[in-house]
Structure 1
Amino acid sequence: MKKIAIYIFSLTLFSFTSCSMFELDNYAAPAETLQGEVVDAATGEPVLTDQGSEGITVRLTELSYGDNVSHNPDFNCMPDGTFQNTKLFKGTYNVNLFGPFIPLVREDNRGVPLADETQTVNIEGVTKVKFEVQPFLKVEWVSEPVVTNGKITAKVRVTRGVSEEDFRSKIEPMGGYSNSFLNVTDIQLFVSYSSSVGYRARDDRWSSKIEYSGSEFNSLLGETITIESNGTIPSGRVVFVRAAARINYDTPRGSGTRRWNYNAPEEVMIP
């Protein structure tokens, strides 16, 4: 009799627990949308990026239930510098970005806040945000890429998107400053069949790079740089190319992720 009573009690407890579980499942699915764009504060032009963790990362932290909360899973911008998340709950969120530009949140080595250029928004329906940032570099096509015998020759120009003085004034107070942070370390020519060409969508058979040591590139800022693809691209194919460059500074600081600034992709027919 005692065993039967225990069995009935356990069955009743399971029934109540099951009902509670079903009640939790009845909450509406997240359906609010955040749309954003990232532009150069000086020119208003989009900050072009890579659709991967080396591009622009978006971090949302919901503040509706207090300040001591964990951030949502990070997601990435699209190559044109825009981003969108359509699966959010209604609420108040802090929006932070990590990319190839001056960090939005800056603290000294003791954790004392120096600047906070993030945005806090109430997300309901479709909410739009715009970030004006200071990109590290600006990469431009000097002329259209040229194809010769299955090889692409590209001419690009790299300039600073933020002056050395402005960079230093904002980064040095964070501690551990080095003049080497401003060094341009490499220029890449990414080649791919995908229009989303970049580090994450590249064909290693044809993509190429030029690496620079120390401050070697300083004298080449603003000059025309010629870079040629590797291998031989088969004729009759259409490929996409982009150039990218980066400096010796990781964002977030200490993450080891040095992010490229890009130019716009070009479609190239291989005759």
Structure 2
Amino acid sequence: MTRDICELRSRYDEKRSELSQSLSFVDEVPEKKLVPLYNSIGIQSQGAAAYAVFFDEFETARSLFADAAEYSSKSITVRRKWRDELEGEDWRSEPVAIHRALISAVLSGNKQICTETSDLAQSMDKSYVDDFPDNTAQFYRVQSVGEIIAENTSKVSLQLISRQSEKDTNSRSKAIASLYQGFSEEDESEIQDGIQQLVSLFEERVNPKSSNPSDLFEQSATAFFLLAHERGFEVTVETDSLPEDYVWWILE
């Protein structure tokens, strides 16, 4: 099965148009009401970046991933500033926005943006798990990704994420635990296993004919694959769900 290229091009053009429209509203919205707009721009930029990778427009993709990281990060900093006046659901969604920022930052290849987004992940308020106990695993997954990117892993955090992965029914937690162990202990096989787990989960859920940007390739696995090779680990993954050409281009 193959994807409809004409439909993908049309969806890509629509996504760029939506993004342009959203950006035009930024200067018209009061700061404390910018959270949903910044979040939307982050999502739209990430989606457009995925299409750009699919069409081998790598320079455009890199720029759009940088925008996705930047605006997702802005949604977080504004949310934190005005948290007392915003609805609780705005805070509940913080790990999702941070994860988008982290993965997009890595895929942009921009070291400064990676540093800024990993700082956001590592500064997440621990009281979050008291307010949203059902999101505890997601909180620690995102914090762990931030530590991996910042090369700030620790044995204490490894034990914590390992315990969380054992309790959590979400298979992504087990993948992140493998990746955390791999990067913290410089264990290439664990890194490869974690990436393969993410790819397998992606391929189990995705319709290969889908034109949705989130279904074009596994972005988290691609980001960790990029990080691994950047740090000298020769991991290999046999899959069409990871755009290696884009990774090699970023690493040039």
Q: Given the two structures, how large is their TM-score scaled by the length of structure 1? A: 0.25
- The structure that has the greater radius of gyration is 1
Q: Which has a greater percent of helix? A: 2
Q: TM-score, normalised by structure 2?
A: 0.27
